[in-house]
């Protein structure tokens, strides 16, 4: 229960909390107070970390009144809340965003200066919470930013991993993973509430019992449990006074020490129990787009979902709330299949704990959930073995079986006699082992199912879930992804932001389609000159950073060619690499004069999943090729390869504003959407890309002339695949390709070792599942067009400005509007 035990009589007890003054003086007072009272130090004795933590607390104080008020307002209005269920949130640093949301940048900068401190130095002290792998986790962070900015009640639910995505280092060019100790120096942005912990049960068995009313009920008798401790984070809207909540759960042992074991002297056993429980939220699984079918992963999924459902019912709803009306108050968005176990969990809560009949419970449940699919790779669709599910969550497995039975009855009714179809659509897969197809369960339970870009949604309907879209055509929809312009333009690219605001006013920050008003400026010589100056200044900023961070020297005046994303075969970093090797091979063998090359620096940023051998070998190969290219005297000033380690949100915010060329070169039909593609275009990079994911829509909006398209489209890929793809034939027939591959095979990049890169090169030659060799020539041709355009700086700048002007559609505000209108059926609060 909440609130005081008796009615408060002190006048301050019911007054809303005040906000510190927005003046430089007020800020300094608040900051020094935090330094003294929170950190327990004076300014003269404070470390940079003390100063950063005090600054974070200060900014939090400015947000606090709004946060408390947001909660009060939402509860009072009984507004419908979006419960965003996501196993990942790739938040990036918090301080800059909080300063932006409170309009405190200038005040803080001046105030700190008066204290002899530098805001940039304090900002650099923050370790970003890397609680996600890549696009999927970052998307969740963009979405909750947009909902707060659009004044929509939302609680983001997830896991407070003690270790987020690993810190990548390179040792002799190979990826070595280091633990991400993001909590080590303090975590000023979180508010733990151990008193509001939730118990989560696992294991055991179920029993049937007949109650006094003669009704038979099922009871789950679990074998063990853990506690979920909520940690709240502020999610501030941009200058609108709303602050939503992100609630991340941390696992703890129910009893820190089992007293009996402890007293018996078996300390080790007592501590083991604690360690076992805490393991659940210990680390983020570092796989992106391909799941790990591990027991601990399922424990994580159930853990956070069980905490989150319980939390909303117990703490956000009135005590006498009738759960039959639950869909009026919450809509849960399932961010991929990771939280899908929430479906049987809600059924269990309603039936076993709230005495609902099955049909009543199903009616509520199917109106509470929607499902977003983020992939097409068949190996990425989660299937949990029934053996494991039954052992860990026996009651949930029973419920899933029953949902499946009733669903298959419906299928049989809709398609009488078509038993093969019924078997195809069963949530229970029989091969290679009996398991629950979580995507099917999600599709059956959800009101709406969406893909994340037009092409992806169409392929989802036609190829991944065709039987389901035939049965329920209206259930399927598309919402093309978006990115937040606050972090990825305003915060990351202040120079471009100022230039835009000077031209068209500052309304674009919350209404990104207004970037269209920039179109006429694409032909304005003065604006174009300033635009070039912004790009150049951003490159200088990046140069300074990379020098200090990685010891990398970026040459002046180069075309900055950027490929930043997770390392995955389908994304085809190997194709980019073949381009580089080919340039190197041609110049060093005298086939091409270096003076004919457009001076270019290729920047890679990519982490490989630790167990993904080909991906890790590709990283090694990129680093080996980079070493040769960068050391070749012929290529000095002409071609350079930079691969800064540990690409993360913080580095993205530096790299993207400096980029000229955006590499989006996945095999068509494989990248569900991509969101880096949007961030780069919005910052004035031109895209070289395939007709894949959201590239399709980017190209349509910016226009063919301002986008370098290459490669097969999805139907052509399907056709080649059906015909039988033979990568060797491309090697045989394309001399340029052959020379590049032969150079790698010769051991040139591996100190003479001809087999060092077998896993990468033999794979390309013999299997090449993602058809890099088939698209090679087309890619090379498109790169020639890039060089031609770049040689004409006026034309290039014009294209770059038009990319900015025409990509306002890719704001996550627009994406959220689409979800609100077509999926969640709710409106912002007034
Ligand atoms: C991903 C897709 O691979 C990306 O194409 C997509 O942009 C992102 C967000 O929808 O989701 N799916 C996934 O498992 N990881 C991703 O980044």
**ipTM of this predicted structure:** 0.99
3-state secondary structure of 93: coil
> What CATH number has the domain bearing residue 580?
3.40.50.2000
The mean pLDDT of the chain is 96
Are 369 and 439 in a shared domain? yes
Cβ of residue 671 lying under 6 Å from some atom of ligand 1: yes
Q: What is the percentage of the chain residues whose pLDDT exceeds 70?
A: 99
Task: Please report whether residue 4 resides in a domain.
Answer: no
Are 137 and 158 in a shared domain? yes
Number of domains in the chain: 3
What pLDDT does residue 53 have? 98
Cβ of residue 136 lying under 6 Å from some atom of ligand 1: yes
Burial class of residue 445, CB neighbours in 10 A (0-12, 13-18, 19+): buried
**Ligand 1: nearest atom to the Cα of 290:** 14
Are 506 and 618 in a shared domain? yes
Burial class of residue 753, CB neighbours in 10 A (0-12, 13-18, 19+): exposed
Contact 794, 752 (CB under 8 A): no
**Ligand 1: nearest atom to the Cα of 481:** 10
pTM beyond 0.90: the answer is yes
Residue 668 has pLDDT above 60, yes or no: yes
Compute the distance from residue 118 Cα to the ligand 1 centre, in Å: 37
Compute the distance from residue 136 Cα to the ligand 1 centre, in Å: 5
Cβ of residue 693 lying under 6 Å from some atom of ligand 1: yes
Would you put residue 653 in left (φ > 0), alpha (ψ -120 to 50) or beta? alpha
Of the candidates 549, 534, 547, the one whose C-alpha atom is nearest the C-alpha of residue 647 is 549
Domain containing 107: what range?
23-77+98-127
Of the candidates 517, 515, 533, the one whose C-alpha atom is nearest the C-alpha of residue 525 is 533
Residue 272 has pLDDT above 90, yes or no: no
Task: Please report whether residue 394 resides in a domain.
Answer: yes
pLDDT digits (tens, 9 = 90+) for 490-529: 999 999 999 999 999 999 999 999 999 999 999 999 999 9
- Report how far apart the first and last C-alpha atoms of the chain are (Å, whole number): 29
Task: Please report whether residue 641 resides in a domain.
Answer: yes
Task: Please report whether residue 12 resides in a domain.
Answer: no
Q: How far apart are CA 21 and CA 91, in angstroms?
A: 28
Are 723 and 640 in a shared domain? yes
Q: Which two tokens stand for residue 180?
A: 């991400």
Are 121 and 255 in a shared domain? no
pLDDT band at 258 (very low <50, low <70, confident <90, very high): low
Helix 573-588 and helix 735-745, axial crossing angle in degrees, nearest 10: 90
Compute the distance from residue 696 Cα to the ligand 1 centre, in Å: 16
pLDDT digits (tens, 9 = 90+) for 259-268: 666 677 777 8
Residue 328 has pLDDT above 70, yes or no: yes
Contact 791, 782 (CB under 8 A): no
Cβ of residue 451 lying under 6 Å from some atom of ligand 1: no
Q: How far apart are CA 733 and CA 299, in angstroms?
A: 51
Cβ of residue 452 lying under 6 Å from some atom of ligand 1: yes
Per DSSP, what are the bridge partners of residue 233? 190, 246
Compute the distance from residue 387 Cα to the ligand 1 centre, in Å: 29
Residue 830 has pLDDT above 80, yes or no: no
Q: How far apart are CA 763 and CA 760, in angstroms?
A: 5
Cite the active site residues: 374, 565-566, 571, 675, 679
What pLDDT does residue 261 have? 67
What pLDDT does residue 3 have? 82
Of the candidates 568, 555, 532, the one whose C-alpha atom is nearest the C-alpha of residue 602 is 555
- Other CB atoms within a 10 A radius of the CB of residue 474 amount to 8
Compute the distance from residue 714 Cα to the ligand 1 centre, in Å: 18
Q: What is the mean pLDDT of residues 231-250?
A: 98
User: Which residue's alpha carbon is nearest to atom 17 within ligand 1?
Assistant: 135
Compute the distance from residue 336 Cα to the ligand 1 centre, in Å: 9
Of the candidates 803, 793, 765, the one whose C-alpha atom is nearest the C-alpha of residue 686 is 803
Task: Please report whether residue 297 resides in a domain.
Answer: yes
pLDDT band at 429 (very low <50, low <70, confident <90, very high): very high
Higher pLDDT, 17 or 480: 480
Compute the distance from residue 338 Cα to the ligand 1 centre, in Å: 13
User: Which residue's alpha carbon is nearest to atom 7 within ligand 1?
Assistant: 674
Q: How far apart are CA 567 and CA 575, in angstroms?
A: 12
User: Which residue's alpha carbon is nearest to atom 9 within ligand 1?
Assistant: 136
Compute the distance from residue 289 Cα to the ligand 1 centre, in Å: 7
Q: How far apart are CA 107 and CA 119, in angstroms?
A: 11
**H or E stretch covering 429:** strand 428-429
What pLDDT does residue 14 have? 80
pLDDT band at 739 (very low <50, low <70, confident <90, very high): very high
Strands 190-192 and 224-236, bridge-based pairing = antiparallel
Q: How far apart are CA 144 and CA 405, in angstroms?
A: 36
Q: How far apart are CA 391 and CA 315, in angstroms?
A: 30
Cβ of residue 382 lying under 6 Å from some atom of ligand 1: no
Q: What is the CA radius of gyration of the chain?
A: 28
Per DSSP, what are the bridge partners of residue 81? 330
Cβ of residue 375 lying under 6 Å from some atom of ligand 1: yes
> Which of 132, 292, 673 has most ligand 1 atoms within 8 Å of CB, for mutation?
673
What pLDDT does residue 13 have? 84
Residue 256 has pLDDT above 60, yes or no: no
Alpha carbon separation from 495 to 530, 558, 559, 613 (Å, rounded): 10, 20, 19, 41
Query: Quick one: CA dihedral 246, 827, 514, 790, positive or negative?
Result: positive
Q: What is the mean pLDDT of residues 213-220?
A: 92
Residue with tokens 């498109």: 782
Task: Please report whether residue 1 resides in a domain.
Answer: no
pLDDT band at 292 (very low <50, low <70, confident <90, very high): confident
Are 360 and 470 in a shared domain? yes
Q: How far apart are CA 482 and CA 372, in angstroms?
A: 14
pLDDT band at 211 (very low <50, low <70, confident <90, very high): confident
Per DSSP, what are the bridge partners of residue 157? 85, 247
Alpha carbon separation from 752 to 166, 203, 577, 635, 757 (Å, rounded): 32, 55, 19, 22, 11
**H or E stretch covering 827:** none
Higher pLDDT, 212 or 505: 505
pLDDT band at 269 (very low <50, low <70, confident <90, very high): confident
Contact 277, 254 (CB under 8 A): yes
Residue with tokens 């949902």: 403
Of the candidates 525, 584, 513, the one whose C-alpha atom is nearest the C-alpha of residue 797 is 525
Cβ of residue 664 lying under 6 Å from some atom of ligand 1: no
Sheet of 707-709: strand order equals 639-642, 600-605, 559-564, 661-664, 686-689, 707-709
- Other CB atoms within a 10 A radius of the CB of residue 585 amount to 20
**Ligand 1: nearest atom to the Cα of 336:** 14
Q: What is the mean pLDDT of residues 456-475?
A: 98
What pLDDT does residue 257 have? 53
Burial class of residue 735, CB neighbours in 10 A (0-12, 13-18, 19+): exposed
Of the candidates 723, 141, 230, 765, the one whose C-alpha atom is nearest the C-alpha of residue 487 is 141
Largest CA distance in the chain: 92
Task: Please report whether residue 608 resides in a domain.
Answer: yes
Q: What is the percentage of the chain residues whose pLDDT exceeds 90?
A: 92
Are 544 and 619 in a shared domain? yes
Are 490 and 467 in a shared domain? no
Contact 427, 406 (CB under 8 A): no
Cβ of residue 289 lying under 6 Å from some atom of ligand 1: yes
Looking at residue 663, what DSSP letter applies? E
Are 434 and 507 in a shared domain? no
Of the candidates 174, 156, 164, the one whose C-alpha atom is nearest the C-alpha of residue 127 is 164
Strand ranges, E, within 347-422: 369-372, 383-385
Are 120 and 86 in a shared domain? no
Of the candidates 465, 424, 413, the one whose C-alpha atom is nearest the C-alpha of residue 443 is 465
Task: Please report whether residue 6 resides in a domain.
Answer: no
> Which of 297, 375, 647 has most ligand 1 atoms within 8 Å of CB, for mutation?
375
What pLDDT does residue 66 have? 96
Cβ of residue 673 lying under 6 Å from some atom of ligand 1: yes
pLDDT digits (tens, 9 = 90+) for 173-204: 999 999 999 999 999 999 999 999 999 999 99
What pLDDT does residue 259 have? 63
Are 118 and 138 in a shared domain? no
Contact 692, 676 (CB under 8 A): no
pLDDT digits (tens, 9 = 90+) for 593-639: 999 999 999 999 999 999 999 999 999 999 999 999 999 999 999 99
> Which of 374, 456, 569, 571 has most ligand 1 atoms within 8 Å of CB, for mutation?
374
Residue with tokens 């408060």: 8
Looking at residue 317, what DSSP letter applies? S
Contact 552, 644 (CB under 8 A): yes
Residue 18 has pLDDT above 90, yes or no: no
Are 72 and 83 in a shared domain? no
Q: How far apart are CA 138 and CA 141, in angstroms?
A: 5
Contact 582, 739 (CB under 8 A): yes
Q: Which two tokens stand for residue 378?
A: 């068949």
Residue with tokens 């049909």: 359
């Amino acid at each position: 229960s909440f609130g005081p035990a008796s009615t408060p009589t002190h006048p301050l007890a019911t007054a809303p909390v005040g906000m510190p003054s927005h003046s430089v003086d007020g800020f300094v007072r608040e900051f020094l107070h935090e330094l003294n009272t929170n950190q327990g130090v004076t300014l003269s004795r404070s470390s940079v970390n003390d100063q950063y933590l005090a600054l974070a607390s200060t900014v939090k104080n400015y947000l606090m009144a709004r946060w408390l008020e947001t909660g009060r307002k939402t509860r009072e209005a009984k507004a419908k809340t979006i419960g965003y269920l996501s196993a990942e949130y790739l938040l990036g640093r918090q301080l800059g965003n909080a300063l932006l949301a409170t309009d405190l940048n200038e005040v803080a900068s001046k105030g700190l200066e008066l204290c002899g401190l530098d805001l940039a130095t304090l900002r650099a002290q923050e370790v970003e919470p890397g609680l996600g792998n890549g696009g999927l986790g970052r998307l969740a962070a963009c979405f909750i930013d947009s909902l707060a900015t659009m004044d929509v009640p939302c609680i983001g639910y997830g896991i407070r991993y003690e270790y987020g995505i690993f810190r990548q280092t390179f040792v002799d060019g190979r990826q070595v993973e280091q633990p991400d100790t993001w909590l080590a120096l303090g975590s000023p942005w979180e508010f733990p509430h151990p008193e509001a912990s939730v118990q989560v049960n696992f294991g055991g068995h179920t029993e049937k019992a007949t109650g006094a009313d003669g009704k038979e009920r099922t009871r789950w008798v679990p074998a063990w449990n853990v506690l979920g401790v909520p940690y709240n984070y502020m999610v501030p809207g941009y200058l609108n006074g709303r602050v939503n909540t992100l609630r991340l759960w941390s696992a703890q042992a129910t009893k820190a020490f089992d007293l009996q074991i402890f007293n018996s002297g078996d300390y080790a056993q007592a501590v083991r129990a604690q360690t076992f429980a805490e393991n659940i939220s210990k680390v983020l699984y570092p796989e992106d787009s391909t799941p790990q079918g591990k027991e601990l992963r399922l424990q994580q999924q159930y853990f956070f979902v069980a905490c989150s459902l319980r939390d909303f019912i117990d703490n956000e709803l009135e005590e006498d709330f009738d759960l039959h009306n639950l869909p009026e108050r919450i809509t849960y968005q399932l961010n991929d299949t990771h939280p899908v176990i929430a479906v049987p969990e809600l059924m269990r809560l309603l039936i076993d704990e709230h005495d609902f009949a099955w049909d009543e419970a199903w009616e509520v449940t199917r109106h509470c959930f929607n499902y977003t699919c983020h992939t097409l790779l068949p190996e990425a669709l989660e299937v949990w073995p029934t053996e494991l599910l039954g052992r860990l969550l026996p009651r949930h497995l029973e419920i899933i079986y029953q949902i499946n039975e009733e669903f298959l009855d419906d299928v049989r009714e809709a398609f009488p006699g078509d038993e093969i179809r019924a078997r195809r659509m069963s949530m229970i897969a029989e091969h290679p082992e009996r398991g629950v197809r979580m995507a099917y369960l999600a599709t059956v339970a959800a009101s709406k199912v969406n893909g994340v870009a037009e092409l992806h949604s169409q392929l989802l309907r036609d190829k991944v879930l065709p039987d389901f879209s035939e049965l329920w055509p209206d259930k399927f929809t598309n919402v093309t992804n978006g990115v937040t312009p606050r972090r990825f333009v305003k915060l990351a690219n202040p120079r471009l932001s100022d230039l835009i605001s000077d031209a068209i006013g500052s309304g674009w920050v919350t209404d990104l389609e207004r970037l269209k008003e920039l179109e006429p400026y694409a032909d304005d010589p003065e604006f174009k000159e300033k635009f070039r100056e912004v790009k150049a200044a951003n490159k200088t900023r990046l140069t300074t950073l990379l020098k200090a961070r990685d010891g990398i020297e970026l040459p002046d005046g180069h075309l900055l060619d950027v490929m930043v994303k997770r390392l995955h075969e389908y994304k085809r970093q190997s194709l980019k690499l073949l381009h580089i090797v080919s340039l190197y091979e041609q110049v060093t063998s005298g086939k091409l004069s270096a003076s004919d090359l457009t001076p270019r620096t290729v920047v890679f940023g990519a982490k490989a999943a630790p167990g993904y051998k080909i991906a890790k070998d590709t990283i090694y190969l990129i680093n080996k090729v980079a070493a040769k290219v960068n050391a070749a005297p012929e290529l000095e000033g002409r071609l350079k390869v930079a691969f800064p380690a540990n690409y993360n949100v913080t580095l993205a915010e530096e790299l993207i504003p400096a980029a000229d060329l955006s590499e989006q070169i996945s095999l068509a039909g494989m990248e569900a959407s991509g969101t880096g593609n949007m961030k780069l275009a919005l910052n004035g990079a031109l895209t070289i890309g395939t007709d894949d994911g959201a590239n399709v829509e980017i190209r349509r909006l910016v226009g063919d002339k301002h986008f370098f398209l290459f490669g097969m489209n999805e139907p052509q890929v399907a056709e080649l695949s059906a015909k039988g793809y033979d990568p060797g034939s491309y090697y045989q027939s394309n001399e340029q390709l052959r020379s590049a591959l032969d150079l790698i095979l010769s051991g040139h990049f591996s100190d003479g070792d001809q087999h060092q890169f077998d896993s990468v090169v033999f794979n390309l030659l013999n299997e090449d599942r993602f058809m890099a060799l088939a698209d090679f020539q087309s890619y090379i041709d498109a790169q020639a067009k890039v060089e031609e355009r770049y040689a004409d700086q006026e034309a290039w700048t014009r294209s770059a400005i038009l990319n900015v002007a025409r990509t306002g559609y890719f704001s996550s505000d627009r994406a959220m509007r689409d979800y609100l209108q077509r999926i969640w059926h709710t409106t912002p609060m007034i």
